[in-house]
Amino acid sequence: MSVNRQILVVEDDLKTVELIRLYLERDGYQVTIAHNGRDGLDAARQKRPDLMVLDLMLPRISGLDICRILRMEQSTVPIIMLTAKSTEDDLLLGLDLGADDYITKPFSPRELVARVRTVLRRLNDAPVSQKQALQFGHLLIDPLRHEASFCGTPLPLTPKEFKLLETMGKEPGRAFTRLELLEQVFGFDYAGLERTVDAHIMNLRKKLEAQSHALHYIQTVYGVGYRFAWERDAA
């Protein structure tokens, strides 16, 4: 249900922002507007919205910097980027910083509303049975709290890093292709952006191995992708 869902739209183009507001409110969402990056960051901190629609090219603070700051502050608010930039590197940067989805301008407002629905549904509709904590020696993956910890110390994972770890941890030993991970973690095929998985995996490994030292939970399966390797004796 979209009733009472709070959406923060950070966009400096007045016509675009009013069009987005119209379609989101028509779908039952409550909408807060910010026209520059500073006001958008303040609103995200104060109002704690259910989702942000965030333009990348903003006055005062860019959308990329807002995304970076929020993820550094451990915010897990879902972020859909709006961007006129469509090159792979631009999109990868936004996704690597922790954005959940993107849509390029010009776009259909109906498509944006559909993306909002999809992101929120993906985060909230998982069955309780799929949200049970996973324990691998000293490593705990807790989907309900959206947190992973090692020996009781929380790991500073971004939402995408956590989702990657959770997805692979549910099926230890299984080799996932990059495309499978994109579809399961980001929600659909990012058409040519499979290498964004490599960047997330690299960061995830660094954070895991900084705590677990000799334990290598994420293994590369050459020619395929990655798998979560759990060796009971290693713990």
End residue of a domain, out of 107, 124, 141? 124
Based on the fold, state whether residues 132 and 230 are members of the same structural domain. Answer: yes
Query: Which residue's structure tokens are 């860019």?
Result: 62
CA 220 to centroid of chain Cα atoms: 22
Query: DSSP letters of 82-97?
Result: EES--SHHHHHHHHHT
End residue of a domain, out of 124, 153, 185? 124
123's tokens: 């985060």
Based on the fold, state whether residues 94 and 147 are members of the same structural domain. Answer: no
What are residue 174's phi and psi, to 5 degrees?
-75, 135
Based on the fold, state whether residues 189 and 101 are members of the same structural domain. Answer: no
Say which residues have a Cβ less than 8 Å from residue 92's Cβ, sequence separation at least 6: 193, 195, 196, 199
Domain count, the chain: 2
Based on the fold, state whether residues 90 and 168 are members of the same structural domain. Answer: no
CA distance 172 to 144: 19
Based on the fold, state whether residues 103 and 15 are members of the same structural domain. Answer: yes
Structural domain includes residue 55? yes
CA 132 to centroid of chain Cα atoms: 20
182's tokens: 């994109």
pTM of the model: 0.67
Q: Per-residue confidence of the chain (235 residues) as pLDDT tens digits? A: 455 789 999 999 999 999 999 999 999 999 999 999 999 999 999 999 999 999 988 999 999 899 989 988 878 888 998 887 666 666 777 777 778 888 888 888 998 998 898 888 776 655 544 567 888 888 999 988 888 998 888 888 877 888 899 999 998 999 999 888 887 877 655 555 667 788 888 888 888 888 876 578 899 999 889 999 876 434 4
Structural domain includes residue 21? yes
End residue of a domain, out of 124, 151, 167? 124
Structural domain includes residue 214? yes
Structural domain includes residue 1? no
Torsion angle of the four alpha carbons 87, 92, 94, 97, in this order, in degrees rounded to the nearest 10? -160
CATH classification at residue 64: 3.40.50.2300
CA distance 53 to 103: 10
What domain range includes position 180? Answer: 128-234
